[in-house]
Amino acid sequence: MFIKLIFLALLAINLVASRSITMDGGRCSCYRTVSKITFHSRQVKTIEILPPSASCENVEIIVNLKNGRQLCLDPHEDKIKNIFRELINKKKI
C-alpha cells in the first residue's frame, strides 16, 4: 500500500512538472523554418498563420501542400514578408 502511494505521488509530481514545462513557450508547431519558397502556388492546399500565444511565442506560417507535405515559412525573412504584403494589397483592391 505504501509503495502505491509513493508511486501516485511521484506520478502527480511528474504531471505537474511537465505541465509547467509546456506552458513556457515550448509547444510551437514549427521546429524548423525555411526561408525560400520551393513550391508552386498550385501545390498549396492551405496556409495557416498562427500568432504568438501562451503556448508559443513565435509567429508561425504553416503551408500545407496537396501532396501531404507541411512546410513552416520563416516569418522574419524579407521575401516572405513581401509576398504576404502583396497578397494583402491584392485582397484590398
**Residue 93 binned pLDDT confidence (cut-offs 50, 70, 90):** low
Read off the pLDDT of residues 50-78 as tens digits, 9 standing for 90 and up: 999 998 999 999 999 999 999 999 999 99
Instruction: Answer with the residue of higher pLDDT: 4 or 64.
Output: 64
C-alpha distances in Å from residue 39, one per residue of 34, 44, 65, 81, 90? 12, 8, 9, 17, 21
- The fold adopted by the segment(s) 27-92 is OB fold (Dihydrolipoamide Acetyltransferase, E2P) (2.40.50)
pLDDT of residue 36: 86
24 pLDDT more than 50: no
For residues 16 and 31, what is the distance between their CA atoms, to the nearest angstrom?
24
Domain ranges within the chain, ordered by starting residue? 27-92
pLDDT of residue 3: 56
